Each structure stands twice: as structure tokens, then as C-alpha cells.
Structure 1
């Protein structure tokens, strides 16, 4: 047991956002190359310094898919230890509606293509899913898990480290 004079390491999870975007029974999925491996995921990525969660979700979806969406709900907050890098991930999963698509917009580095797949097609990808959070988020959405966006509160300033 450390005494009160011994500094303790601060836990620093990877804070990520992801969007479940449905069009009928199909979901927006990205195929991406990660560490030399082709994997499938929702549009997702890291929260940037000074950015709020909702803005990060909108940005990541646009950058990875060319789709502009409208966020509707927070589906949930999921904690997971990545098998990719071994670190903890804290993922905020959102539900969004597709608004418009820019097919000429360049996609983020590593994104091979954008797909619309059914839940069964996504489940069939098995070990090619980037994480178990892909199906967890879709299943939570299908089960009706929806929190209002008003549960999110951001008190960011111009300088996050005044």
C-alpha cells in the first residue's frame, strides 16, 4: 500500500465516441486498416482536447464517412480494455440520423470504405469487428436504450488549461 507521500499514477483511459447511424435495418459501418489488419467499426474516434463529446461524434462521423448526421440520443457509456493496445477505453455511444452525404469528401487515413450493413451482416464479421462495443452499441439501441443529449454537460473554456 502506498503512503500519502507516494505519487499515484493517474488513470488515463482513451476517451472515444461512436455513432450508431441507422437507415431502416442497415447501419453505417467503416472498413478500416488498423495495425495492418482490416476491421469494421461504427464511425468512431478519440475526443480531442477542448472538444465536447457531441461535437466529437459529429466530427468523427463526417471525417470517416462523409456523412453529416444529426445526433438524437446518447445510447450509453461503455468501458472496455482494448485487445489492440491493452489500454482502457471509455466509449460514449450516440445514435444519429443521416442528413446528407458528400461522396467527394476525402475520408480519414486508414478508412478503406463505408458500408451500410444489417445487424446480421455485422455480427457475421465476428473477429473482424474492431471491438465488442460495435454490436453492444447496436444491441443497446435496438433494445430501446436512449438517453437525452441533455444529460451531457460541457463546461469548456477557450483555454482548457487556464
Structure 2
């Protein structure tokens, strides 16, 4: 059932985001980015665009933020939380994948300073510099062996692969 905002009568919708956990050995791909006037660390992540599948959004965001072309291997889960940054509820769909290639000359998204590979303990040590608490949650799900089939998330959009 949809919720509405009493004063406006508009249908309320949460913010939908995607994220990728990309591991290489004991290191994970993270981005250093400018967020709310501070340097923060995150997985390659971003918003779902209109008409885009969640899987396509995860692949696109990883490329735009890191220059890495990736293939998805598994679905890690959905996290629901309230973003202090946006003051609204967020649904974050996280995927796991692997690097196919890297385009070192590709310009990164505005606000992204660099992509780097860090161990889990190094990521945890970033503490308050993590953009969201979901960064470690998704990595821990991956480390715990969570690997749901990609078709756990299906799309009925025209042209989407099923």
C-alpha cells in the first residue's frame, strides 16, 4: 500500500539506490568522493535512472565512478534505512561483481576524487568518513557468503533481460 503525504496528497516514494561490492583478493573497490562538503568513502553506488534496471544501474554507476567495467555475479540484498544526507528513506539494492577491464583514462563522475582498493579493516577504520553505514553491511554480507541469484531481482521493463 502506498503512503501519501497528508498535506499534498502526492504518493510517497523512497529513494532507490544501487551499490556494487567488487572484491579483488582481500581488497574491495571503494570511491573517495565529495559529499556534503566533506570527503567520504563509499562503494560504487548511485541512483536508479528512469527506465533502467537495477542491474544496469549498478554496472553503470561502477563504470562512471571508477572506470571499471564489471559483470555482476550475485545479488546481495536490499537495505532500508533513513539517510541523514537526504532526510528520507532509502532502499539500497546491493550486487556483487567482478572487474572485466579498467579504463584508466575515463573521466570519473563529478565529485569523485578517485577509486581505490582497500581491505575491510581499512574501510572500517574510516569510521565517520564512510558515506553510509551500508558500506560495511554490504561487504559483510559478501564476506559472510551471501550470494543470491541475480534473477532474485527481476525487471518487467521493456527490453530488460529476464
**Structure 2 length-normalised TM:** 0.91
Q: Distance in 2 between matches of 1:91 and 1:146?
A: 16
SS of the aligned residue for 1:27 comes to: strand
Match of 1:77 in 2: 78
**Structure 2 residues not aligned, in runs of 5+:** 1-5
Larger Rg: 1
Structure 1, unaligned runs of 5 or more: 1-5
Deviation at 1:117, TM superposition (A): 0.1
The Cα shift of 1:75 comes to 0.4
How far does residue 105 in structure 1 lie from its aligned partner after superposition?
0.1
Q: Which runs of 4+ in 1 moved over 6 A?
A: none
Report the Cα distance in structure 2 between the residues aligned to 1:93 and 1:150, rounded to whole angstroms.
Answer: 13
1:8, distance to aligned residue in structure 2 (A): 4.8
* Deviation (angstroms), 1:99: 1.1
Question: Alpha-carbon deviation of 1:9?
Answer: 4.2
Which position in structure 1 is the counterpart of 2:20?
Answer: 19
Q: How many Å separate the matches in 2 of 1:132 and 1:73?
A: 21
Give the Å deviation of 1:82: 0.5
Name the residue aligned to 2:42.
41
1:4-153 correspondence to structure 2 within 5 Å? 8-153=9-154
Report the 3-state secondary structure (helix = DSSP H, G, I; strand = E; otherwise coil) of the residue aligned with 2:122. helix
Q: CA deviation at 1:156?
A: 1.1
Residue of structure 2 in register with 1:3 after alignment: none
Normalised to the residue count of structure 1, the TM-score between the two structures is 0.91
1:93 partner SS: strand
**Residues in 1 aligned to 2:51 and 2:66: alpha-carbon distance in whole angstroms:** 23
